[in-house]
Amino acid sequence: MDNHIRSIVMTFVRGIKQSEVYRNYCCQLNRIKEQPELYGKVNEFRKKNFDIQNSEPPESVMERLEDLEREYAWLRENVLVEDFLQAELAFCRMMQELDALIVRELDFQ
């Protein structure tokens, strides 16, 4: 990678790290990691969620996600878990928006 582009990317990354969305995600991640057993359960949920969204036939995804939500409803009732998952979702959405913006502005097809 060209040094000029690398420098610009690092400035961009610093901007992301300074954003409220990223800082909140890091804060919530650190809070939940303080309870390793709970963090392990959250990771189980996240892995199953990821697997469903990325390996299931499209027509069964919603039904499987609803089943997963029911299976882990007890976990989602925990405020620490819910705060982390909401912060993670906000960060993921921000990254998706950034990716879409970059692709759109570069006319990458």
Confidence label for 50 from pLDDT (cuts 50, 70 and 90): very high
**Which is more confident, 42 or 55?**
42
Look-up: residue for tokens 């089943």? 67
What tens digit of pLDDT does each residue of 9-42 get? 999 999 999 999 999 999 999 999 999 999 999 9
Residue 11, pLDDT score: 97
Q: Is the pTM of this model over 0.95?
A: no
Separation of alpha carbons 49 and 61, rounded Å: 10
Separation of alpha carbons 77 and 55, rounded Å: 27
What tens digit of pLDDT does each residue of 71-91 get? 999 999 999 999 999 999 999
Separation of alpha carbons 73 and 91, rounded Å: 22
Q: Do residues 39 and 32 make contact, with C-beta atoms less than 8 angstroms apart?
A: yes
